[in-house]
Amino acid sequence: MSAAQGKVIITCAVTGSIHTPTMSPHLPITPEEIAEAAIGAAQAGAAIVHLHARNPKDGSPTQDPALFRQFGARIKAARDVVLNFTTGGAPTMSIEERLQPALQLQPEVASLNMGSMNFGLYEMLGRYKEFKHDWEKPYLAASDDRIFKNTFKDIAYILQSCSQNGTRFEIECYDIGHLYTAAHFLDRGLVKPPLLIQSVFGIRGGIGPHPEDVMHMKRTADRLFGDAYYWSVLGAGRNQMFIAAMSAVMGGNVRVGLEDSLWLGRGQLAKSNAEQVAKARRLLEELGLVVATPDDARQMLKLKGGRNVAF
């Protein structure tokens, strides 16, 4: 389904496990900071906010449902926006641990990775000399020998566990084979259309950020899913806005946020998620496109509504 024929969904990934706290002083860490960042992103034009949690003491990744409940309830009370909880968490976590926020809190949307992969963050070690917390440097360094495990069994387990929740999935595809895995689970009836396919570009271990890569992802998804899906993209790091622009002109949706890139422009750290959302919104509107509201996104993706969650 082409966004260019209707409205474009902006998703904002507020904080995540890709970056460590030291790398930007603007990365939200505590539940209060994450909630305020999400509210600001929604005010700037995000219809969906994608949410991870961090240990408030040291910023390390955590899937503690109590933290998701804290910022989820605060965001819900302050702003009408679709909340999307991760089931990815971090590559160092078990599948059972990663599942808990979506299972217990039953959000409108949850993210779901479509395959095991190398997930290399170790190159960041050459860009940063000092780290605030003891866990950060070893976490990055060990990623050259780390596999982000998402087996067929893992994926089916998450889908089956959440099948009674009414939660729909942001299906994250880091490579072409992940699209075929999504088609496999569509054939098995474990996911239902319309799918939200989130193509991820520029992570070491996944597909690259070249324009040919972006077009190949779109062509393949069109062939596999036809009119049964909405396409969105995220570009990691400096590729964020370039790939967002490509998606927009190709009829897709966009994802921005400090989880995916710490930058607003060349050499300029983004001071907030809202800054990135505002920039993406300006880009879309300059192209003559209409930015979707949360209710537009709910209608497009057939979501259950913000009242039907468990937080």
Alpha-carbon distance of 39 to 135, in angstroms, equals: 29
Q: Look at residue 112 in the predicted model and tell me its pLDDT.
A: 98
Please give the sequence-ordered ranges of beta strands (E in DSSP) within 119-262, or none if there are none.
147-148, 168-173, 195-201, 229-235, 253-256
Q: Look at residue 35 in the predicted model and tell me its pLDDT.
A: 98
Q: Look at residue 3 in the predicted model and tell me its pLDDT.
A: 53
For the chain, domains (ranges, CATH) are 3-301 (3.20.20.70)
Identify whether the C-beta of residue 169 lies closer than 8 Å to the C-beta of residue 191: yes
Pull the structure tokens for residue 307.
Answer: 């009242």
The amino acid that residue 177 corresponds to is G
pTM of this prediction? 0.97
| Alpha carbon separation from 181 to 84, 174, 204 (Å, rounded) | 21, 11, 20
Q: Name the one residue in this structure whose structure tokens are 């679709």.
A: 82
Q: Look at residue 19 in the predicted model and tell me its pLDDT.
A: 87
49 Cβ neighbours under 8 A, 6+ residues apart: 11, 12, 13, 14, 38, 41, 42, 75, 81, 82, 83, 84
pLDDT in tens, the chain (311 residues): 755 457 999 999 999 988 899 999 999 999 999 999 999 999 999 999 999 999 999 999 999 999 999 999 999 999 999 999 999 999 999 999 999 999 999 999 999 999 999 999 999 998 888 899 999 999 999 999 999 999 999 999 999 999 999 999 999 999 999 999 999 999 999 999 999 999 999 999 999 999 999 999 999 999 999 999 999 999 999 999 999 999 999 999 999 999 999 999 999 999 999 999 999 999 999 999 999 999 999 999 999 999 999 99
Q: Look at residue 212 in the predicted model and tell me its pLDDT.
A: 98
For residue 194, is the peptide bond before it cis, meaning its omega torsion is within 30 degrees of 0? yes
Q: Look at residue 18 in the predicted model and tell me its pLDDT.
A: 82
**Helix, strand or coil for residue 50?**
strand
